[in-house]
Amino acid sequence: DAMVIQNPRYQVTQFGKPVTLSCSQTLNHNVMYWYQQKSSQAPKLLFHYYDKDFNNEADTPDNFQSRRPNTSFCFLDIRSPGLGDAAMYLCATSVDESYEQYFGPGTRLTVT
Point out which residues bind another protein (CB under 8 A). Answer: 40-43, 45, 48, 50, 55, 90, 97-98, 100-106, 108
Cβ of residue 80: shortest distance to another protein, in angstroms? Answer: 27
- Can you spell out the DSSP letters for 57-112? -TTS-TTEEEE-SSSSEEEEEESS--GGG-EEEEEEEESSTTSPPEE---EEEEE-
Nearest to 31 by CA among 52, 45, 57, 5: 52
Nearer residue to another protein within complex by CB, 47 or 81: 47
Cβ of residue 110: shortest distance to another protein, in angstroms? Answer: 14
Nearer residue to another protein within complex by CB, 70 or 98: 98
